[in-house]
A and B are shown apart, each in its own frame.
Chain A
């Protein structure tokens, strides 16, 4: 049998979504961003909302996200995407509006904007990538950096006395009444990718139904910043990140708010 005999529509098991562009991604090999971009693109295709979706990414590694999805996109100032998204959604209530933010962006410089967008219950989707480090600027400490974790600005490891505690901003935001859905996912295994995709789809559906703000944290790897191979980075994430940032829904319609303080 020739290879061309096998490449037939009835044999197709997987295809790249047309919402994703053919632009070669700038992300490091092993980085989680590419997978998250792909599942967002797939959700947009599955829901048939490509013409109604506007993405907003501020500063960070994902500042170039606009190169990778065939949708209208705004690049916002550092931390300010939730403010920009607020206006877009209020001026175009029938569009699907999402922000795509890293941990430095959302949990440090942009805390006021995300807090108040959540509190107002803006009908937007927030995708929050937490890899516990500043990737774009070369691996400095993020608010989510773990205790003892070595970064370019904590060369001897993060110390509480100097740097405070790793910020679980997702649990904080879950307390706000304007937020309808909060979940923490990962994309390190095929099963995790499928779960993360379902969560992102639910978030977009909530937005369509005007239920309030939906917040999806993805605990991801930054193997370049962490100075680990992609495989080692996944292992390190499971062993060190997941205990502090446990996966699963933190707030949804059935659960209410998870009693996270007792963890």
Chain B
């Protein structure tokens, strides 16, 4: 095993991955269960090695606006927070989307509403995939289910952010953030030089106006309704392109499945065991794990309906992703939700019991 394969906590690996992928700046504010990200960055002192800036802001409102300033310069910048802090950032999300600024936001979700609980939850699905802030916009939302994916999605998140000039959110949860697993770190990449930033983003980023080019202006303001509509249509074209090109998912034992669990993040790990337990009892159960929550794998789910007798959307919420599953499936297959709330995480057999209760009652009788 090489030196780059380590045992690491999900939150810590976000920090290591940020440094290794050439991130220019992290701006954040402490909140459980993700404070280890900034703590790890401060401990690593990347300003002495890669030159990465790490700054503890006075609030999540400030950190998201620091992200705005840094992203507007064409720099690779990121922040992290958890649910209540992310709510505070939503104004900034809307401005970032409106100004088409590439950046990375890590949300290690805890239970809500309000101050809620520090235990893991997936109750911020709507906020993450439907917008959160005002206006018609989407983030690209990645849902890691392992510490390895916490590592991999940092670099991938920045790639997608710059490819589409759009914010990307890693929607993790308290389990993925806090658990320790084996992870192979990505090989280190240097930060972009000023010349590379100008080559990549010089047509729009505020890098200082040299003589001979027009001033670059970052704004989300369009007072003329006709101009604002055209801009919004352009944004929608971008989101449609993302829907066409960037869907990512994992299918586990789906080929012969009659019943399907749909779950993401930590919940999908639990559902993997549910699938094994079900199959041991002769139930042909499969698992579809959306990796991108926006864009949602609607077509891939719809394509499975001919073989399915029922779908159970399993979430640590009162039923949020299930709405997107229903939109994908229509009335072709029954869709039901199962979830636990307030930071309670169901065991694999609890999920299986819910599946049986919903779809196999008659067969058992």
Contacts and interface: CB of A to CB of B under 8 A. Distances in A.
Contacts of B61: 80, 83, 112-113
B208 A53 contact: yes
B208 A87 contact: no
A113 B219 CA distance: 19
Interface string B89-108: 00110010001000000000
A77 B95 contact: yes
B65 A113 contact: yes
Interface in B44-103: 53, 55, 57-59, 61-63, 65-70, 72-73, 75, 77, 91-92, 95, 99
A83 B95 CA distance: 14
Contact of A113 (B62, B208, B216, B218): B62
A143 to B, nearest CB: 18
B182 interface: no
A187 to B, nearest CB: 24
A42 to B, nearest CB: 17
A87 B66 contact: yes
A91 B25 contact: yes
A108 interface: no
Interface stretch (A28-36, A64-72, A245-253): A64-72
Given A73-B215, A77-B91, A90-B25, A95 B208 contact: yes
A80 B62 contact: yes
Interface string A87-101: 110111001000000
Interface in B109-150: none
A86 interface: yes
B65 A72 contact: no
A70 B206 CA distance: 12
A135 to B, nearest CB: 15
Contacts of A154: none
B219 A87 contact: no
Interface in B181-219: 206-211, 215-219
Interface of B: 24-25, 27, 53, 55, 57-59, 61-63, 65-70, 72-73, 75, 77, 91-92, 95, 99, 206-211, 215-221
Contacts of B77: 87, 91
Nearest to A90: B53
A115 B363 CA distance: 67
B18 to A, nearest CB: 14
25 contacts: A50-B209, A50-B211, A54-B206, A66-B217, A72-B208, A72-B217, A74-B219, A75-B217, A75-B218, A75-B219, A75-B221, A76-B68, A76-B69, A87-B25, A87-B53, A87-B66, A87-B68, A87-B73, A90-B25, A91-B24, A92-B73, A95-B208, A112-B59, A113-B61, A113-B65
A63 interface: yes
A91 B75 contact: yes
Nearest to B212: A51
B219 A84 contact: no
Contacts of B208: 51-54, 72, 92, 95
Contacts of B68: 74, 76-77, 80, 83-84, 87
Contact of A80 (B65, B73, B99): B65
Contacts of A92: 73, 207-208
Contacts of B70: 87-88, 91
Contacts of A53: 208
Contacts of B53: 87, 90-91
B214 to A, nearest CB: 8
A88 B69 contact: yes
A76 B220 CA distance: 9
Nearest to A56: B69
Nearest to A78: B91
Contact of B66 (A69, A71, A86): A86
A195 interface: no
Contacts of A88: 69-70, 72-73, 206
Nearest to B101: A74
Given A84-B69, A88-B73, A91-B25, A73 B206 contact: yes
Nearest to B69: A84
A218 interface: no
A1 B312 CA distance: 93
Contacts of B211: 50-51
A90 B65 contact: no
A73 B205 CA distance: 9
Given A91-B25, A112-B58, A74 B206 contact: yes
A92 to B, nearest CB: 6
Contacts of B220: 75
A116 interface: yes
A139 B208 CA distance: 35
A74 to B, nearest CB: 4
Contacts of A90: 25, 53, 55
B24 A113 contact: no
Nearest to A66: B217
A15 to B, nearest CB: 18
